[in-house]
Amino acid sequence: MSYQNILSATNSGITTITINRPSKLNALNKATIQELHDAFDEANKSKSTKVIIVTGSGEKAFVAGADISEFADFDVKQGSKLAAKGQELLFDYVENLSTPVIAAVNGFALGGGLELAMSCHFRVASTNAKMGLPEVSLGVIPGYGGTQRLPQLVGKGRAMEMVMTAGMIDANQALDYGLVNHVTSVEELIPLAEKIASKIMRNSSVAIKSAINSINANYKDGINGFKTEIKQFGKCFGTEDFTEGTTAFLEKRKADFPGK
């Protein structure tokens, strides 16, 4: 597909999606959110994509926030619709993808940018990364899942402080909080993400899909995560990947999984 605001390239099983609006510090507008949805959907459906990495163009910003000019004059109904549509199209969508998604956070990840990073399955950051949810300084709150995912990742108290102060934390503090898994240099950010992706790709894509489903279930209202795990565990026994994985183990060889 052809995109105006993002770049998407696949190499050796990894699809890298880059938000490419450097003049706007890669801010998310409606068009970019739609293009990101389309790119994630295309990669998730592609048999050649085993892992997705999402990052921002340049070194200044992953995503510096939402494009405020698009909604500054919205009323209550329009604001509610904006949040609901955005969550459906992108943030909830990414969280529930069956293909693993790694956020490579370079520079500013603020507002919708941090919300996008948090919707990914996990995050790595460069040393120049700055993260925060500054929405209350504009008289609004995070609307793309930030008030829900941030406490899940860093705990209620830290989330309350970050949201209420509208402050930023640096990469090392984000690592200490558990908001990111790894911190590295700007130059090594994408290579590190690719190194982790290569480790993921050695394993069963079918089993990873079940693992994502099971882990996410623990954070959904009305869903019993243990029951979901039991169901997904059982389903694995009916897959070619299970047969190959267990056979390879017993034969003391490396498994050759069929793929997605």
Mean pLDDT per 10-residue section of the chain, whose length is 260 residues:
94 97 94 97 96 96 91 94 96 98 98 98 98 97 97 98 98 98 98 98 96 95 95 96 96 90
State the Cα–Cα distance between residues 45 and 129, nearest whole angstrom: 31
Which residue is catalytic, options 42, 70, 135, 229?
A: 135
- pLDDT value, residue 2: 87
- pLDDT value, residue 57: 96
- pLDDT value, residue 66: 87
Q: Is 135 a catalytic residue?
A: yes
Q: Is 115 a catalytic residue?
A: yes
pTM: 0.95
- pLDDT value, residue 48: 94
- pLDDT value, residue 96: 97
Which residue is catalytic, options 88, 115, 161, 240?
A: 115
